[in-house]
């Protein structure tokens, strides 16, 4: 068996190769589902918003189907929506995504997972990317989500919940990520 190639940091200059072109507008006007924006900042151990972070997300479409051959559900695909996006940070240290709210997707053991977005964080100083998930504060299905429920500490569970606000008629979910500290975001070993 071969061994995995080790991870290394993206370093300070990742934008040359990774974010020169915007890849954070994932939904068009014709994409099916509720149009939303996701935005937030990533904080280091001193509580400082980081200017050199890259966030990638991967999500199901509004019907709860992933655009991937291993998702064999009979739910519709949306040809205008891949489900993937990437954002660097702007001059105010914010990442943003224009997307649609995902539908619920199946979990293991006949369970159903609440609508969520899969998140990866890369930065100068991070030798290895960190995996987390974004859940929506206004989703009753969160109460029965297997991953949320596997986090026993309720305060820690709360680090995965994005809260909604309104901006020009569009729902904007704020999702800050804390790499360290009392409110360190839950990161997953998966």
Site for another protein in 43-82 (CB under 8 A): 44-46, 50, 52, 56, 58, 60, 66-71, 82
Instruction: Report the distance separating Cα 22 and Cα 119, nearest Å.
Output: 17
Nearer to another protein, 96 or 115 (CB): 115
Instruction: Report the distance separating Cα 105 and Cα 73, nearest Å.
Output: 9
Exactly one of 11, 75, 80, 94 binds another protein (CB under 8 A); that residue is: 11
**Angle at 11 (CA atoms; ends 7, 15), nearest 5 degrees:** 115
Give me the least distance between CB of 91 and another protein, in Å please: 12
Exactly one of 10, 27, 55, 162 binds another protein (CB under 8 A); that residue is: 10
Copy the structure tokens of residue 78.
Answer: 């949306």
Give me the least distance between CB of 169 and another protein, in Å please: 29
Site for another protein in 133-162 (CB under 8 A): 133, 147, 150-151, 156
E strands, 72-129, are: 84-87, 95-100, 105-106, 112-113, 116-123
Residue 128, interface with another protein (CB under 8 A)? yes
Nearer to another protein, 100 or 147 (CB): 147
Instruction: Report the distance separating Cα 177 and Cα 133, nearest Å.
Output: 10
Nearer to another protein, 27 or 60 (CB): 60
Instruction: Report the distance separating Cα 108 and Cα 18, nearest Å.
Output: 33
DSSP summary character for residue 83: S
Exactly one of 24, 36, 41, 83 binds another protein (CB under 8 A); that residue is: 83
SS (H, E, C) 147-180: HHHHCCCHHHHHHHEEEEEEECCEEEEECCEECC
Binding positions for another protein, rule: CB under 8 A: 1-18, 20, 44-46, 50, 52, 56, 58, 60, 66-71, 82-84, 105-110, 113, 116, 118, 120, 122-131, 133, 147, 150-151, 156, 179-180, 184-190
């Amino acid at each position: 068996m071969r061994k995995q190639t080790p991870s290394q940091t993206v370093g300070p200059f990742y934008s040359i190769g990774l974010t020169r072109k915007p890849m954070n507008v994932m939904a068009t006007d014709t994409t099916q589902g509720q149009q939303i924006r996701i935005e937030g900042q990533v904080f280091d151990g001193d509580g400082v918003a980081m200017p050199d972070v890259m966030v990638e997300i991967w999500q199901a479409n509004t019907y709860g189907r992933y655009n991937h051959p291993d998702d064999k559900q009979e739910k519709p695909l949306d040809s205008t929506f891949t489900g993937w996006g990437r954002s660097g940070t702007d001059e105010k240290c914010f990442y943003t995504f224009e997307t649609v709210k995902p539908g619920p997707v199946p979990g293991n053991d006949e369970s159903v997972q609440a609508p969520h977005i899969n998140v990866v964080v890369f930065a100068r100083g991070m030798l290895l990317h960190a995996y987390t998930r974004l859940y929506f504060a206004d989703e009753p299905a969160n109460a029965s989500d297997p991953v949320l429920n596997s986090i026993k500490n309720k305060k820690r569970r709360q680090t995965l919940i994005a809260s909604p606000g309104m901006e020009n008629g569009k729902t904007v979910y704020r999702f800050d990520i804390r790499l360290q500290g009392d409110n360190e975001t839950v990161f997953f070993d998966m």
